[in-house]
Amino acid sequence: MIEIVPFQEEFRQALPTVEGNVDYEQFRDSLERIAELIKQSKIEQRVMIEALRQHQDEDNRRRQARGKKPKELKAKAKQRIQKMARQALRCGIARHLTGEAYRVFSCRLADSPVLQKFCLIDWMVAIQVPSKSQLQRYEGMFEEGFLREIICQVTGKAAVPEAAEEQEQALGLEHPISLQEYFVDTTCLEANIHYPVDWTLLRDATRTLMKAVRLIRREGLKNRMQEPDSFMRQMNRLSIEMTHTRRQKEGKRARKKVFRAMKKLIKKVSGHALVHRDMLKNNWEHTGLSEQEAGQIIQRIDAVLEQLPQAVYQAHERIIGERQVENSKKILSLYEREIQVIVRGKAGAETEFGNTLLLGEQSDGVILDWKLYQEQAPADMKLLPESLERIEKYYHCRPGAVTGDRGFDSADNRRYLERNGIKNNICPKSVAVLREKLQDATFCEAQKRRGQTEGRIGIVKNVFLGSPLRSKGFFSRQMSVAWAVLSHNLWVIARLPQAHQQDQEQQQAA
């Protein structure tokens, strides 16, 4: 059983008195309330225990590899790990509250006393600010499943069952949040890529390979070739010509001619990259690069060379052969493999490139369930039952009513909701059934409230995740969504009326 070791809190600086800025005061008060919620919900304790467990398991594996018996961590090591875990939790929440990138947030953290106080780095002697890389490692300390558990812990403490209404609210809320109404919708979480035009993959490959070759040649490993920058200039000129072909009289013929030149150039580029990759692999000890740095460059070249034949074939089929390529066989980006083509038919976004995100909230705006789908997601109607089952698993109850758009309506879902005693406020696809349901005031009110779910999705995507989402790889995007939901829920709960807030207002008025 892993237990938390008591440790002494450091002396901390007092916040400077700032007047004349209401926005700053609201931001400061919001952070103070969120810090209070973190303590009241006791998620800090869970984070520290999880960090101790991870380090204990890692230490045991290292000792067993050396043939030694497992040994418990020392008290000082546990104290250091606990402090780091607290700081990781608060830095992750604060970064998503501001919606800033790692580098920008690290700089802002060094300059903001209120953020330093929230992240527990406002020490008296010297303030040690985590770097952008350390912030990224902090957010990767915990798995998505663990973050889901602590999110449900916060939300569960904010919601008090009806049988326990007379008890004191754990988070000090005037009224506990309700889990009876559930509003669900889906969206596309777009990846941070340019629009996937076929020939741009060749341009991206040229840039990545030649930049890697430039790093290798800088270390003294050279093979006879032109300067890497010259190949990038040639590809850029061809890219400019390709964009201008549509304005020419015989644009289709000119487009094919430019693409053939691109194919010849990318063949030279890939050959030079392969030669330099082998040179680095066999002689990295004679360079100033570490084994990890050399391995990173080799991995970067291999990742592009592995996809290059398919990228050339894909562009050849569409430009030269004028044939369509199935979405399942398309390469949308050389750097983001786990993204899908999502056709939703919306104004301004007929086709989107990313992953389907399901998001469900309750009436106060607290997110109850979410899931980011790695593969092509099924239709919305098939996502609803598994979402309700996740809610029952983590909150040990089912919502009393479910509201969604027409995409969630199906005969199976209607039977599922009726069987589980859940009121069906989903907009039906049948016009006749819709006319009948519009006579129900409860249905009309729920559908009117459903419009706020669209705004909730926009807040999560544009504010807490950042626009665009900068995380690379599906695992990183999945973790970013979990951190964004945690920060969002704390932010929403922090804005709800507190139990003692009304008494304070009455005392001030008196």
**203, two tokens:** 């341009």
Average pLDDT value for residue range 427-442: 93
282: β partners = none
> Confidence band (pLDDT; 50, 70, 90) for 344?
confident
* CA atoms of 297 and 277, how far apart (whole Å): 8
CA angle 195-201-204, nearest 5°? 100
Last-in-domain residue among 329, 346, 371: 329
Mean pLDDT value across residues 356-374: 94
Judge whether 174 and 498 are in contact, CB under 8 Å.
yes
Does residue 209 sit in the same domain as residue 275? yes
The residue range of the domain holding 308 is 200-329
Query: Looking at residue 383, which CATH number applies to its domain?
Result: 3.30.420.10
325 and 386 inside one domain = no
What was the pLDDT predicted at 162? 46
Q: How confident is the model at residue 228 (pLDDT cuts 50, 70, 90)?
A: very high
284 and 208 within one domain = yes
Other residues' Cβ atoms within 10 Å of the Cβ of residue 289? 19
The CB density around residue 305, as the number of other CB atoms within 10 Å, is 16
Q: Is 449 helix (H, G, I), strand (E, B) or coil?
A: helix
Asked whether residue 192 carries a pLDDT value surpassing 90, the answer given is: no
Confidence band, pLDDT 50/70/90 cuts, at residue 325: confident
Is the same domain home to 293 and 320? yes
Residue 473, Ramachandran bin (φ over 0: left; ψ between -120 and 50: alpha; else beta):
left
What's the pLDDT at 2? 79
| Cα–Cα distance, 417 to 58 (Å, whole number) | 45
> Of 300, 329, 358, which marks where a domain is finished?
329
Q: Is the pLDDT of residue 155 over 90?
A: yes
Burial string for 111-133 (b: 16+ CB within 10 Å, else e) reads ebebbbbbbbbbeeeeeebbeee
What are the backbone angles phi and psi of residue 368, rounded to the nearest 5°? -95, -35
190 forms beta bridges with: 354
Q: Let me know whether 302 and 346 are in one domain.
A: no
* β partners of residue 182: 402
The reply to whether 4 falls in a domain is no
Element (H, E) at 403: strand 401-403
The pLDDT assigned to 507 comes to 53
Q: Do 75 and 209 lie in a common domain?
A: no
pLDDT of 164 reads 47
What distance in Å separates the CA atoms of residue 253 and residue 49, rounded to the nearest whole number?
65
- 350 and 325, same domain (yes or no): no
DSSP, residue by residue, 330-386? ----SS--S-EEEEEEETTEEEEEEEEEEEEE-TTS-EEEEEE-SS----HHHHHHH
pLDDT at 167: 59
341 and 483 share one domain: yes
**Nearest Cα to 184, choosing from 374, 380, 347?**
380
Task: Check residues 354 and 195 and name the one with the higher pLDDT.
Answer: 354
Query: What is the tens place of the pLDDT at every residue in 17-34?
Result: 888 899 999 999 999 999
With cut-offs at 50, 70 and 90, classify the pLDDT of residue 209: very high
Mean pLDDT of 312-322: 91
Instruction: Kindly state whether residues 46 and 179 are assigned to the same domain.
Output: no
User: In the predicted model, is pLDDT for residue 342 greater than 50?
Assistant: yes
Give the rounded distance of the alpha carbon of 242 from its chain centre. 35
Q: Is residue 158 part of a domain?
A: no
Q: What is the largest CA-CA distance in the chain?
A: 86
Q: Is residue 421 part of a domain?
A: yes
Classify residue 220 by its DSSP letter: T
Burial readout 341-378 (b: 16 or more C-beta within 10 A, e: otherwise): bbeeeeeeeeebbbbbbbbbbbbbbbbbbbbbbeeebe
Q: What is the pLDDT of residue 510?
A: 47
Tell whether the model's pLDDT for residue 503 goes beyond 70: no
> What's the rounded Cα separation, in Å, for the pair 203 and 263?
10
Task: For residue range 455-500, list pLDDT tens digits in order.
Answer: 999 999 999 998 778 888 899 999 999 999 999 999 999 999 988 7
CA torsion 333→335→336→337, rounded to 10°?
A: 80
| Residue 450: inside a domain | yes
Domain presence at residue 504 = no
pLDDT for 377 equals: 87
Q: How far apart are CA 483 and CA 104, in angstroms?
A: 18
* CA–CA gap between residue 313 and residue 409 (Å, rounded): 41
List CB contacts of 465: < 8 A, sequence separation 6 or more: 96, 99, 189, 480, 481, 484
pLDDT class of 163 with cuts at 50, 70, 90: very low
Of 84, 76, 104, 109, nearest in space to 94 by CA:
109
Q: How many CA atoms lie within 13 Å of 483's alpha carbon, on the beta-carbon side?
A: 32
Quick check: is 267 in a domain? yes
- Whether residue 185 has pLDDT greater than 80: yes
323 located within any domain: yes
Residues 105 and 238 reside in one and the same domain: no
* Lookup: tokens for 45: 């304790």
Question: 282 and 254 in one domain?
Answer: yes
Percent of the chain with pLDDT over 90: 66
User: Is the N-terminal amide bond of 385 cis, ω within 30° of 0?
Assistant: no
Per the prediction, the chain carries an average pLDDT of: 90
pLDDT band for position 39 (cuts 50, 70, 90): very high
- 152 found inside a domain: no
pLDDT of residue 215: 94
Q: For a pLDDT cut of 70, what percent of the chain falls above it? A: 95
Distance CA(387)–CA(63), nearest Å, equals 42
Q: Say if CB 216 and CB 223 are below 8 A apart.
A: no
The domain tally of the chain equals: 3
pLDDT, tens digit, 9 for 90 and up, residues 121-132: 988 778 899 999
Residues 128, 219 within the same domain: no
